[in-house]
Structure 1
């Protein structure tokens, strides 16, 4: 059974947040990608439209989630389901926050200015 330890996660930073990649095609997975997202307290996220569904489980702290203009707070244990092609923005709460994120391989994100990003942690 393959076990990926925290010190084996591949680290990326983007838009002020940290992405610790555990599962991806580059790490042997065929269909899924998963990472631990760390969002600093008060961090303002970047609005984007993901090409694939994403599921976030809040592990620590809280996140302010804007989904198609509706804003809600998500705390420890809450799960956020982000449908593909919906507009999402995730902001940090009062303290540093973490979430476990799962999606399918090949996720891309389109920002408001039309830029298409292919995050390396989702390949």
Structure 2
């Protein structure tokens, strides 16, 4: 059976400077893969990072993003593969919002910079 999630009906989640539109996830019909659309506000910078226990893939649809202060700036069409355990600090150095599609294996766990478990965020549950 095919599961369809219409853009207008996708669950929405927000953190300071970033917004998530839920796509594939176990609660939405996908046992093995999570996918969501990420919008990063123009000028968003964070001084903290997090890690996840699985490889995570970010595809930039529009705008500019960086995944850490020493990481390259990426634009539309670029893909970043962040390996499990590597720090992630999403920033948008541009003057326009950035749009990305993110994919990761279902059941992943996120952790704060000091190793405190965050668990699986609601957009991927």
Unaligned runs of 5+ in 1: none
User: Which residue matches 1:74?
Assistant: 74
Q: Which runs of 4+ in 1 moved over 2 A?
A: none
What is the CA–CA distance in structure 1 between the aligned matches of 2:108 and 2:124, rounded to whole Å? 6
Q: How many corresponding residue pairs? A: 121
Map of 2:64 onto structure 1: 62
Higher deviation after alignment, 41-50 or 80-89: 41-50
Aligned to 1:89: 89
Cα distance in structure 1, aligned partners of 2:5 and 2:67: 29
Name the CA distance, whole Å, in 2 between partners of 1:42 and 1:115.
27
Deviation string 1:65-121 (CA, Å, 9 cap, x unpaired) is 22xx74110100000001011112110131110100000112221111333212011
Describe the SS at the equivalent of 2:108. coil
Q: TM-score, normalised by structure 2?
A: 0.89
Query: How well do the aligned residues superpose, as a CA RMSD in angstroms?
Result: 1.5
Residue matched to 2:53 = 51
TM-score in terms of structure 1 length: 0.90
Deviation at 1:15, TM superposition (A): 3.3
The answer to which of 20-29 and 86-95 deviates more is 86-95
Partner SS state of residue 56, structure 1: strand
Moved more, 99-108 or 73-82: 99-108
Q: Which residue of 2 aligns with 1:102?
A: 103
